[in-house]
Amino acid sequence: MGIRVYERLRDEIVSGGLEADTPLVQEQVAERLGVSRTPVRDALNRLAHENLVTWLPGSGYLVNALQSNDIAEVYQVRQSLETLALRLACGNHNQAQLTRLTAVIEDMAAADPSDAAAQFELNRTFHMSLIEPCGNALLLRMIDTLWDHPVNRRITRSYVHDAGNVRLMVSEHGALLDAARAGDEERLIHLATQHMYTGYQETLPEDSGIDLMPRPGTESVH
């Protein structure tokens, strides 16, 4: 029961159903979901640990806005792990994997650009399929777990708010696929670094004062 309550509240937050600064009072949430206070309390504690809500003594919990530091931390970890996986995977894609990647790109282009949940799953499927041939099961599990981080879903929801960004993702995914098909490691890493940088930097508030590093083209791609 506690897991289901947690997942329900998490999904409502990352989908925008519960907007930033929405108050969450245990009794009210329990009544709305038709459960006891115990699983709600456990779920809210877990959400607070993930920085999705904040505990306000005497007032209950408050839904947090997407924080710039959260975006930067997820980007830094993903960029490092995924770059390593791409280096290991490059040159090892078979025809079936390349065909699947092509199909995912086509599905993303055909999907509703405003459907953040669908775009998230397609984006995740593309990137996990791109690194699949890396041959390192531990690395794949670590990256897959990172995709499960709630911040990633919130980032996707914010980014795809602009339909033009979805078209850009489709175009960039096509370029990544071309580099993978050619076995061009240098180009694949350069394009992937630029792709991730663009997506996460675009999501940061303009007044955040954070410029994600490394900038594309400033690090060695050898």
More confident residue, 122 or 211: 122
Please write the tens of the pLDDT for every residue from 174-220: 999 999 999 999 999 999 999 998 888 887 777 777 877 655 444 43
More confident residue, 2 or 38: 38
Please write the tens of the pLDDT for every residue from 86-120: 999 999 999 999 999 999 999 999 999 888 888 99
Whether the ω angle into residue 214 lies within 30 degrees of 0, i.e. cis, is yes
Tokens read off for 33: 């979901």
Q: Is pLDDT at 64 greater than 60 in this prediction?
A: yes
pTM comes to 0.81
According to the model, what pLDDT value does residue 213 have? 64
Integer Cα distance of 23 and 54 in angstroms: 10
According to the model, what pLDDT value does residue 170 have? 95
Integer Cα distance of 169 and 184 in angstroms: 20
Integer Cα distance of 185 and 12 in angstroms: 39
Q: Which of 187, 128, 177 is nearest to 152 (CA)?
A: 128
